[in-house]
Structure 1
Amino acid sequence: MSTLTLAVMDGAALRTQAALPAVGDVLVIADPACEAATLVGCRLAARGRGSVTGCAMPDSFRQGRLHGGEPTVMALLEKSPRPRRGDEPPAPHAGDKFIRESLMAGACDPRWAVLGSDYLAGLRELCSWHDLVVVQRVAAVKGKPLGGLDELALHAHLPVLILPTPCAPGATHDRVVIAYDGSGPATRALRSALPLIVAARDVYLLDGSAGKPVTPRFDPVRFLERYGVTVVRKHLPGHGLDGPQLLSRVSRLKPDLLVMGAYGHAPLRERLLGGTTHHVLGATKMDIAVFVQH
């Protein structure tokens, strides 16, 4: 295929992206092994002239070693972290490559950030002026199947799009499943995921919100219908579903994106006793993208 043909195809793709709702400014957790995150993040940002920032994280993030946060009960039970060779900053050319790929994908004003081992404060600052975080799953570290995904979902204060590995570098998802329990995190996730949901061909709502006493109630179907989205609603039992049951129901619908709230219960409770969020984020063999918000 000629270079000219590729350029025409890229231009058509950008015009299609521009017709979709804007996502805003995107923060990409960049990793040499996760190039799909860069491409997806840039294409999402390009929809509405959004900017994109690549963020190189230390190995302590991938290994689930939290640095720079308030001490928790779990942290106090762990040994004090020591500097490791993997916490050294990446090679300078990584930023140049990210900037170049971002511009080719149509993103505006690409930037590059490198966070050290004490990364949490810097991450929070970056998240304060972005609208979405895009990250891709990496190989699980022994004993830490979630890596830093749980900390990212908790401390970013932003929606997080978690891509599977491997992942096709497209910025749209044709078949979306929304796991909705009526909680604040679930409602925030659904509303934040609207730019992705309206671009889908098939949208399913697993609704476990029956019996919620709040008045007036947020109706996810009415909300999505305002934007022309046709939703197939499937009611869940009143007691809800645990993590394995939810993933079983989701897998039957064969989606390429799952939208759900994160940590509706206390994070410590989920870590000690298990929970839906903890199970989904730790499901390293999942082959679908997950959009979560706390």
Structure 2
Amino acid sequence: MTPSPYAAALARIPVREHRTEVLGAETAWWEYGEPGDPVLVLVHGFRGDHHGLEPVIAHLPGLRIISPDLPGFGASAPLAGRAHDIDGYAAWLRAFLVETVPAGAYTLLGHSFGSIVASAAVAGGLRPDRLVLVNPIGAPALEGPRGVMTRLAVLYYRLGALLPPRLGFWLLRNRLIVRVMSVTMAKTKDPELRRFIHDQHDRYFSAFADRDMLLEAFRASVSHDVREFAGNIPVPTLLVAADRDDITPIEAERELVTRFPDGRLAEIEGVGHLIHYETPEQAAGHIRAFLGAVASDAPEATA
């Protein structure tokens, strides 16, 4: 286990673990901070779990942060009787918030695949006060220069689901493939931080419930992007994007923000799709500035 460079900051924030039944299946979620503080709800990315966003949490003291494992990932059970597609995850998110934030104001944050889930839920009627999208998926994965690699990944997940169970799980959890992915996405030159990132992916990237739900979720992640929901999101929205993101180029993020009725873009230089690991303090700073700016624009604040 590689020590986290953010461990000391995170240790200063109290955390409580919970289990809640949502749509007939158990969801594991973690609550950081104190009751009564402003609420921020997190939705992590594909094949991750709540651990991935802890470096950002470490830089957001003073908030009550609710961070679940998505259904089928981490310690959460798969969806019960529903497909692990965008509609299924959006329905789960709406039901989860009814159980955990039944009343009061909150901000919703989605990272990567979580940006699609969160956007779909808000476009479908969920009403947070604000929306934050970190490394948002802002362009179709099956088109453009990255389309060939995406199609190869589709074949990889399909093969993992079709092979006999033992061989299929071995392929999907293969440490060499996970390490190649991790090395490709990490942009930092700091050797200690790179070791931490690789250790995080080794420990948590393969914590999924079964091969079929993983294939469903992957298909959902590459068949949708935030663009299709942006125009129907009526709440103030912040995009925190990276100028070296291999998943969505920064040019696509600059175009994406124009599709929101009330959108703004914060760019972080020198980082790729791992803002939450490499530059969490900068991301947290943009989030805090956004929360403060939106609060100062509210009618009760300006009356």
TM-score normalised over the length of structure 2: 0.27
TM-score normalised over the length of structure 1: 0.27
Pick the structure with greater CA Rg. Answer: 1
